[in-house]
A and B are shown apart, each in its own frame.
Chain A
Amino acid sequence: MKAFTAMFTAIDQTTKTNQKIQAMVDYFTHAEEQDKIFAVSILIGNKPKRPVKTTELKEWAAQVAELPLWLFEESYHIVGDLAEAIALILPPQQKAHQFTLKDTLAFLVRLTDLTSEEKKALIIDYWMSTPVDERFVFNKLITGNFRMGVSRQLVIKALAKYFDQEQTSVAHKLMGKWDPYEETMQSMFAGESHLNKNYLPYPFFLAYQLDSEPETLGDINEWCIEKKLDGIRGQIIVRNNEIFVWSRGEELLTNKFPEFNSLQTSLPNGTVIDGEIIPWKDGHPLPFQVMQTRIGRKNISPKYLKEAPLVMVCFDVLESEGEDLRSKPLMERREILKDLVSKHTEKKLLLSEAMDFNNWQEVADFRVNARDYHCEGLMLKRNTSPYETGRRRGNWWKWKTDPMTVDGVLLYAQSGHGRRANLFTDYTFAVWDGDVLVPFAKAYSGLTDKEINVLDNWIKRNTLDKFGPVRSVKPEYVFEIAFEGINSSPRHKSGVALRFPRILRWRKDKSAKDANTKNDLLLLLEAHKP
Chain B
Amino acid sequence: MIFNNEKKFSVLEFTEKGIYCPIADIYIDPWKPVKSAIITHGHSDHARIGNGHYICHQDTVAILRLRLGLDISVQGLAYNQIITKNGVKISLHPAGHIIGSAQVRLEYKGEIWVASGDYKLMPDGLSVPFEPVKCHHFITESTFGLPIYTFPPAAEVYESINNWWKQNASEGLNSVIIAYALGKSQSILHHLDQSIGDIFLHGAVANVSNTLNDNGHNFPGTWVTPEMNRKDIQGAIIVAPPSALSTPWVNKFSPSRKAVCSGWMQLRGARRRSGVDRGFVLSDHCDWPQLNEAVLATGAENIYVTHGYQTIFAEWLRERYQLNAVEMKTQYEPATGDIE
Residues of chain A whose beta carbon lies under 8 Å from any beta carbon of chain B: 12-15, 65, 67-68, 71-72, 74-75, 78-81, 84-85, 88-89, 92, 136, 418-423, 449, 457
Contact = CB atoms under 8 A, between A and B. Distances in A.
B309 to A, nearest CB: 8
Contact of B267 (A65, A79, A92, A457): A79
Contacts of B316: 71
B269 A420 contact: yes
Nearest to B246: A450
Contact of A89 (B147, B270, B277, B309): B147
**Closest A-B pairs by Cβ, 5 of them:** A421-B269, A88-B148, A419-B272, A75-B148, A75-B146
Contacts of B277: 13-14
Interface residues on B, range: 20 to 34
B273 A78 contact: no
A68 B318 CA distance: 12
Contacts of A421: 267, 269
Of the candidates A74, A418, A422, the one having the most CB atoms from chain B within 10 angstroms of its own CB is A74
21 contacts: A13-B277, A15-B275, A67-B147, A68-B319, A71-B147, A71-B316, A72-B147, A74-B309, A78-B148, A78-B309, A79-B148, A80-B269, A88-B148, A88-B149, A418-B269, A418-B272, A419-B273, A420-B269, A420-B273, A421-B267, A422-B270
B148 A85 contact: yes
A49 B277 CA distance: 33
Interface string B304-340: 0000010010001001000000000000000010000
A401 B149 CA distance: 49
A418 B269 CA distance: 5
Contacts of B270: 422
Nearest to B337: A453
A84 B268 contact: yes
Interface in B148-178: 148-150
B278 A13 contact: yes
Contacts of B267: 78-79, 84, 88, 421-422
A65 B149 CA distance: 13
A204 B336 CA distance: 46
A107 B312 CA distance: 36
Contacts of A71: 147, 312, 316
Contacts of A68: 319
Contacts of A67: 147
B336 A457 contact: yes
Of the candidates B150, B309, B336, the one having the most CB atoms from chain A within 10 angstroms of its own CB is B150
Interface in B4-21: none
A74 B272 contact: no
A79 B269 contact: yes
Contacts of B275: 15
B100 to A, nearest CB: 31
Contacts of B149: 88
Of the candidates B146, B277, B316, the one having the most CB atoms from chain A within 10 angstroms of its own CB is B146
A245 B85 CA distance: 87
B272 A78 contact: no
Contact of B147 (A75, A84, A449, A457): A75
A422 B268 contact: no
Nearest to B316: A71
Given A80-B269, A418-B269, 4 more contacts: A75-B146, A79-B269, A88-B148, A419-B272
B142 interface: no
Nearest to A15: B275
Contact of B269 (A72, A92, A419): A419
Nearest to A418: B269
Interface string B264-293: 001111101101011000000000000000
Contacts of A136: 268
A296 B270 CA distance: 37
A14 B275 CA distance: 9
Contacts of B273: 419-420, 423, 449
Contacts of B269: 79-81, 418-422
A282 B55 CA distance: 87
Contacts of B336: 457
Nearest to A72: B147
B119 to A, nearest CB: 22
A88 B272 contact: no
A232 to B, nearest CB: 33
Of the candidates B266, B267, B268, B277, the one having the most CB atoms from chain A within 10 angstroms of its own CB is B268
Contacts of A418: 268-269, 272
A423 to B, nearest CB: 8
A418 B267 CA distance: 10
A454 to B, nearest CB: 10
